[in-house]
Structure 1
Amino acid sequence: MDRSPTVEDRYPTVEEVTDSARRLVSRFPGAAGRLRRIGTSRAGRPMTMLSLGRGPRHVLVVAGPHPDEPVGPATALALAEQLARGDRPGAATDLSLVTWDIVLCLDPDGAALSRGVEEATAGPDHTLAGYYRAAYRPVAAEQPEWAPIVARQLPESQALFAVIDELRPVLQCSLHSVEAGGSWVQLTRDLPELAAPFQVSAADLGIPVQLGTFDALYWENPSPGIHVLPPPDSTARLAAGSENIGLSTWCAPQRHGGLTAIVEVPMWASDLADDSAPHPEAAAVLRDLAGLVRDGGRQVTAVLDKARAFLPPPEESAPRRVLEWMADGLYDLVAESWQPLARQAAEDMRPAPTRAQVSALDIVARRQPLRAAGLLLRLLETADDPAAPGLYRDLDELFTTWCADFEKSLRLRWVPVHHQVAHQTRTVLAAAEAALR
């Protein structure tokens, strides 16, 4: 089992990742390691890239694209350690043939606002409540990979585009994680040779392969857990809001003949994620889940309505901007996105939605109100207003109940951090081997 000595059973902070990368360059001079600043965030934080090797072909790895998905930076360190040590000889790891370029954190500003996730998920007790109280995910227009599709050019996005155009990578790997469920990969072009090692790794580490996912609900699905971006004219098969996905940083390597793999691993696993049996009551359950996300959203928004007058204004508060964005139709957008699947179930069309597909949507329906509630609890906790404590207590009661229901309904179990990292590292290496052939 892959277990780098740099990987503990906790997620590292951005500062720890950068310090470890600096030490790695000194420890392995033969790996031709070097660090360079590739850009500066909106708040003036450095964006750092670690490169290993001198080969003419490049593999680009992007860690920390979403600040509430903490496994990527840990994987970046473990991957760099393996490459520098020469632990896995092969065409992809031959540093005379291939240069590995690893962006240590794409969104350092978001990571600063999600600081606390590392501590909240460390130790023997791993709870969704601890995670959601600390996690922060920005609005779509402030997510570096996603902002270009809504016509927002962030300096972080521009820095990544510049690196892609400079290096012309054969493969870009974007390191993501999901709160609950299973593991899957999204590709901008099919890599048939990736399927077997991906599935073997997941099985070896006890991580379910997600059979059906909200993120790629209507994408091509050539093998279990592998999803391929539909052709550009297939916009009806994309999630709402992603019709211009071709403008994202994911698709940028295509202009140089490369492709992107988005590698997702779960923090908490659900064995429902790989249940391929048809769901016997899919139509009714999907209808209930649409109600669940809408009702949860309305309850959080009702508390927000009472607190708006004393919360910091959106232009001064990133969490407040997220809350307003979610209140402005996001819950409905999420619920409506799986209506084609619900109609398919209601009309008894084949293939019928599986238990795994329904469980993936169950996760999404529960996490949206929880993300909002966690952010609003943080704002209420520090608010200087007599009404804040009462609103906090009311929302905290809902939040605690929702977290408990989530854990029980999906039968969640914590995936040790070193298992998450090992699986993501193996998948990246397998994708590189396939892409470089």
Structure 2
Amino acid sequence: MADAYPSVAGVAAAASAFARVHPRLSTLRDVGRSREGRPLRLLSYGRGRRNVLVVAGPHSDERIGAGTALRLAERVAADPSLHARADATWHFLLCLDPDGTIRSEAGPEVRRTPAEHFRYAYRPPADEQPEWAPSVRDADDQLPESQALIDLIDELRPFLQCSLHGNDLGGSWIQLTRDLPGLAEPLGKLSAEHDVPVQTGTYDALYWTVSGPGVYVMPAPGRPAQFDSLPEDVNRSTWIQPHRYGGMTALFEVPMWASRKVADTDPHPDPARALSGLAGLLRHQSERAGALLGQVRPLLPAGRADASGFTGRGPEPVAASRATLLRIAEDLTTICPLIADDWDRLYPSPVPLTRAHLTALDIAARRISLRATGTMLRLLDGLTGHDVPGGLPGERLPGTAGGRIRAQCERQLARWSDDLAAGHDLCWVPVRDQVALQTESVLATFRLLNEE
């Protein structure tokens, strides 16, 4: 099997085949449509009264979840203790953000390098991410994908919602909206079996309660859940919706590239100095990315924000609009100084800072500017001499200012990617191992919750 993530189309075909093979206990239906009209497909298996909802593709650049959902469906179908004897029905939302995920399918299909990943991965702003959007948008202005998920939760009333994420760099970890004591033990064993480090310090859950190595529990309402510079509010996200019905949500993270440093629990010898250095790195890279963006922006055709091929209609793979890409790049470059301010204020820290914590922050700092630079290159995709001053009609981004700026962006992306890889001793985790680890972690959570 190729070491590649399944495509949105491939997952839909596999789910249809699964439903045909298991017609008695499985159904496949559409539960909504994306902003561009793509179906949101739900594969269900079982006839139990207690529902488990598995959500794949909540972030469009984290593509492992779809493969995990299909593997979970196979595991559940093969083991009556997971459905009939547990009085459970499993529901797999195969991709929550198909529009964005299709855009992340651009580029090499198999085992990309870090530079290729950041060059082609597509991650929309927070208010266009279906899980997060309810926390930053007005109540009467929800994304159709968000509303479809909320309606599905209201319909199923799941006792467990599993959100399948995939961090690009680091280790494995689980975030819980309610504690599930004992989950750290199977996570540690499963991660060791697949040679993946357990991430004991994260950027995402720095303020969360540690239930055990790699397992983080959402803070109580009123306590900080993340850095002030980030716009999202976990207490208003779709993660909290199952609480209406006595349920909970678990988020499962597995890495594309593993870094052993995220598992180092030794206290950092000088966290104040390290934080200051990382804040400086953020500001420096933000200034460099902002300077590149300042050169890219004048090349974009005035009044033709959607000239990159975006149609906004139909299920065909299309490029993101230049207006959206420009907003992403601007947001990423402008948020860096705000995050740097957060990190300047982080010492003395509310939690003892380990080497793992500082490693996670270092990865986060470098990733932001890599995403910004990759987005700039996508902005330049499709430009021709007709668009760029000094170019000839039909000529692909000519050897004028546009060509030079593209080359600068490519060199910067390569340099920053190399620095990231060298500084964190990155090791690729084969897709089959990512899927297996995430699948078994979900099943371990289900079994443990079932025993309560």
User: TM-score when scaled to structure 1?
Assistant: 0.91
Give, as a single letter, the amino acid of the residue that structure 2 aligns with 1:223. G
State which of 206, 220, 227 in structure 2 corresponds to 1:239: 227
Question: 1:194 is matched with which residue?
Answer: 183
Distance across 2 between alignment mates of 1:237 and 1:68: 23
Distance across 2 between alignment mates of 1:416 and 1:303: 34
CA contact (8 A) 1:381 1:389 kept: no
Are 2:88 and 1:98 aligned?
Answer: yes
Question: 1:387 is matched with which residue?
Answer: 401
1:238-257 C-alpha deviation (Å, 9 max, x unpaired)? 33335632211011101111
Are 2:69 and 1:76 aligned?
Answer: yes
1:106-145 C-alpha deviation (Å, 9 max, x unpaired)? 001111221226x34x15xx41011111101000010000
Give, as a single letter, the amino acid of the residue that structure 1 aligns with 2:209. E
Distance across 2 between alignment mates of 1:287 and 1:361: 12
Question: 1:43 is matched with which residue?
Answer: 36
CA contact (8 A) 1:314 1:320 kept: no
Q: Relative to structure 1, is the Cα distance of residues 434 and 8 closer, same or farther in structure 2, using a 3 angstrom cutoff?
A: farther
Cα deviation for residue 297 of structure 1 reads 1.9
SS for the counterpart of 2:346 is helix
CA contact (8 A) 1:185 1:262 kept: yes
Q: Relative to structure 1, is the Cα distance of residues 314 and 333 closer, same or farther in structure 2, using a 3 angstrom cutoff?
A: farther
1:262-319 C-alpha deviation (Å, 9 max, x unpaired)? 1101100000011111122322222111121222122122111122133256674322
1:169-201 C-alpha deviation (Å, 9 max, x unpaired)? 000000001111111111100011322111110
SS for the counterpart of 1:67 is coil
CA contact (8 A) 1:147 1:154 kept: yes
CA contact (8 A) 1:62 1:105 kept: yes
Distance across 1 between alignment mates of 2:113 and 2:69: 25
Cα deviation for residue 423 of structure 1 reads 0.8
- Runs of at least 5 residues in structure 2 that lack an aligned partner in the other structure: 307-320, 389-399
SS for the counterpart of 2:14 is helix
CA contact (8 A) 1:75 1:421 kept: yes
Question: 1:4 is matched with which residue?
Answer: none
Question: 1:436 is matched with which residue?
Answer: 450
Distance across 2 between alignment mates of 1:288 and 1:23: 53
Distance across 2 between alignment mates of 1:337 and 1:35: 45
CA contact (8 A) 2:60 2:122 kept: yes
Distance across 1 between alignment mates of 2:85 and 2:297: 55
Distance across 2 between alignment mates of 1:249 and 1:311: 36
Give, as a single letter, the amino acid of the residue that structure 1 aligns with 2:343. W
Distance across 1 between alignment mates of 2:347 and 2:424: 20
Question: 1:29 is matched with which residue?
Answer: 23
CA contact (8 A) 2:200 2:262 kept: yes
CA contact (8 A) 2:48 2:83 kept: no
Cα deviation for residue 383 of structure 1 reads 2.0
Q: Which has the larger helix fraction?
A: 1
Question: 2:364 is matched with which residue?
Answer: 364
Cα deviation for residue 151 of structure 1 reads 1.9
CA contact (8 A) 2:58 2:130 kept: yes
State which of 330, 334, 339 in structure 1 corresponds to 2:339: 334
State which of 142, 147, 159 in structure 2 corresponds to 1:158: 147
Give, as a single letter, the amino acid of the residue that structure 2 aligns with 1:331. C
Distance across 1 between alignment mates of 2:192 and 2:355: 19
Cα deviation for residue 335 of structure 1 reads 2.4
Question: 2:206 is matched with which residue?
Answer: 217
Deviates more, 1:106-115 or 1:164-173: 106-115
Residues matched between the structures, number: 416
Distance across 1 between alignment mates of 2:361 and 2:255: 15
CA contact (8 A) 1:273 1:359 kept: yes
Cα deviation for residue 95 of structure 1 reads 6.8
Give, as a single letter, the amino acid of the residue that structure 2 aligns with 1:129. A
Pairing of 1:375-414 with structure 2 (within 5 A): 375-384=375-384, 385=388, 386-414=400-428
Cα deviation for residue 340 of structure 1 reads 4.4
CA contact (8 A) 1:211 1:274 kept: yes
Question: 1:421 is matched with which residue?
Answer: 435
Are 2:258 and 1:251 aligned?
Answer: no
Distance across 1 between alignment mates of 2:280 and 2:419: 16
Distance across 2 between alignment mates of 1:203 and 1:334: 33
1:394-417 C-alpha deviation (Å, 9 max, x unpaired)? 121111111011000001000111
CA contact (8 A) 1:8 1:418 kept: no
Give the percent of matched residue pairs that are identical in Structure 1 and Structure 2.
Answer: 45
CA contact (8 A) 1:57 1:170 kept: yes
CA contact (8 A) 2:225 2:234 kept: no
- Runs of at least 5 residues in structure 1 that lack an aligned partner in the other structure: 1-6, 345-349
Distance across 1 between alignment mates of 2:295 and 2:379: 13
CA contact (8 A) 2:54 2:92 kept: yes
CA contact (8 A) 1:132 1:374 kept: yes
Q: Relative to structure 1, is the Cα distance of residues 22 and 243 closer, same or farther in structure 2, using a 3 angstrom cutoff?
A: closer
Are 2:3 and 1:9 aligned?
Answer: yes
CA contact (8 A) 2:207 2:351 kept: no
Question: 1:3 is matched with which residue?
Answer: none
